[in-house]
Structures are given as structure tokens and as C-alpha cells.
Amino acid sequence: MNSPHPIFFDEIIISALKEDFGRAGDLTTEALVDRGVMATGRILAKQAGCVAGMEIAMRTFTLLESEAEIEILVEEGATVDRGEVLAVIKASARTILAGERTALNLLGRLSGIATATMNVVEKVEGFKTRIVCTRKTTPGLRALEKYAVRTGGGFNHRFGLDDAVLIKENHITVAGGVAKAVQGVRARIGHLAKVEVEVETLDQLREAVASEVDIVMLDNMAYEMACRAMEIIDGQVLVEVSGGMTGDEAEKYAAIGVDIISMGSLTHSSPAFDVSLILQG
């Protein structure tokens, strides 16, 4: 898995460093460590899981010191064990200490998302179902968090509002019904844009299928009703299921043949992957 281009994350890292440095810089390190003192830092995994964002996190140190030497010891997307050394940094002690928290925050966040995704993807192995994330991302980190989902074996839903048409409950209310909403967008969008409709009832589902949408989203639909919905759809459109999904529920819905399971929790609720940096003078 190739890391995103630096244009997607350099500004994020610089902003995070500015936030951490505040107005006066690293008071502790600058008081205790002379300029020119060199050190070696090792990034350690403190849990087992899937690693994502190594190049992104390590970029922190080369932004602070262009001559910093970085050795990444694991492949992106690899499953690692607790205690495994993930990377080695050779740079001035000031650089390593100043960049430590920013680098670990990024690595922990992205690896946590990748690990959570991997765990769910494993639950649906053997089925055609794809596990996808949503737009429920940390403001400013969407590109990186969605990358972490892909690293964990998942796929991405829309990156933004301009990717495709997704007619949700409030759109249907404003438009006056599913059919009217679909007709309205079909009259105005380009020929390459997909149209998806979120449905909560079987009547809405029938209306959406009759309107020849590309995808239907069964939103918070109970399992028994979803089974009935799959019979109605009968392969006519792609089927997405969404709403409070867990790994075990994903496996259950995958078994009835849904194409896509979208999970906002992958990016808004995944626990951080536990990593640390150990410094040697």
C-alpha cells in the first residue's frame, strides 16, 4: 500500500507541529538538550494490529530536520505484534523529542483505523460484501483517515458531496418523496454521476427500485426486514446497509448478499493504536 503524496499531509503535519510548539517552542527540550546532540529513536508497537501511516508519521521528523535518517522496518498495512520495532529515527535529539508526539498521534490514529477495519473485513471474508467508511471523519484528516481504511482492507464511500448523489431522509422530505427526488437530480446531474437513495421502509425501497437508481441504502433496517428487502431487490440494484454496524452484524448481513456495508465507526470511533518512541542518546 503506497502512502498518499506529501501534498495531502505536509500541511497537516506542519499545522500539528505549530499547535504543539505554541508560541515559545519546546521549553523542556531546549532547556535540557544542547544543539547538535544526536540520538536514535525507535518506534515500538505496544499492541498487535495493522500499521498504517508510517511514512506520514515519519515525515514529521524530516520536516523538522531535512537530514534526519528514517528507517521504516515494516510494510504499510502489515500486521505486527506487540513489542515489534516499527521504525528507527536518527537525528538530533531536539528534533526527535520535539516531533515525537505529533508523529505518534498520527501513527496511532491511522493504525487504529486500519486495525479496526481489518478486524471487520476478516468477519466478511468469503462473501462479496465490501466494508466501506463514510464522511464521518475528523475535519481536515479525511484523506488520511480514508487512506487508513483502505490500508486495513476496506474501501471508501464518498470523499465529499461532489462524488455522487446520495438522497437521504431529509432530501426525500424536502422533495416530496423518493420518485420526485430521483427525478429532480436526474434532470440536473451529469451522466457519470451515480444515484443512491437511502430508504427506511419497504415502500420507499420499491419506489427507489422503480425509479431505476444505481444503489439503495438500507438505513438502520432490522435484519428481518433487510432479508425481505433483498427479495424485493432481487439483484436489480446494488445494495448498501448502514447504521450501527458491528463486526458480528456485518457478517450476518454479508451472508444475505448485500454488496456494501458502510460503517462510520471506522473513522469516528476506532481506538488509537498504542505506539511509543524510545530514545537512545
* 168 labelled catalytic: yes
Q: Nearest CA to 16 among 122, 89, 101, 133? A: 101
Tell me what the mean pLDDT of segment 34-42 comes to.
Answer: 96
Round the average pLDDT of the chain to a whole number and report it. 97
* 252 labelled catalytic: no
Calpha distance 264→7 (Å, rounded)? 25
* 34 labelled catalytic: no
User: Which three three-digit cell numbers place residue 273?
Assistant: 493504536
Please tell me which residue in 90, 101, 186, 252 is annotated as part of the active site.
Answer: 101
The answer for residues whose C-beta is within 8 angstroms of residue 149's C-beta and 6 or more apart is 113, 114, 117, 132, 133, 155, 156, 266, 267
pLDDT computed for residue 147 by the predictor: 98
Please tell me which residue in 168, 169, 212, 214 is annotated as part of the active site.
Answer: 168
* 214 labelled catalytic: no
Q: How far is CA 183 from CA 2, 106, 160, 213, in A?
A: 40, 43, 22, 10
Query: Which domains, and CATH codes, for the chain?
Result: 6-115+271-280 (3.90.1170.20), 122-268 (3.20.20.70)
Please tell me which residue in 76, 198, 207, 240 is annotated as part of the active site.
Answer: 198
Please tell me which residue in 196, 219, 240, 251 is annotated as part of the active site.
Answer: 219
Read off the pLDDT of residues 3-12 as tens digits, 9 standing for 90 and up: 899 999 999 9
Please tell me which residue in 136, 186, 194, 206 is annotated as part of the active site.
Answer: 136
Q: Nearest CA to 193 among 164, 166, 168? A: 164
* 180 labelled catalytic: no
Read off the pLDDT of residues 86-100 as tens digits, 9 standing for 90 and up: 999 999 999 999 999
Tell me what the mean pLDDT of segment 119-145 comes to.
Answer: 97
Read off the pLDDT of residues 46-88 as tens digits, 9 standing for 90 and up: 999 999 999 999 999 999 999 999 999 999 999 999 999 999 9
pLDDT at 281 over 80: no
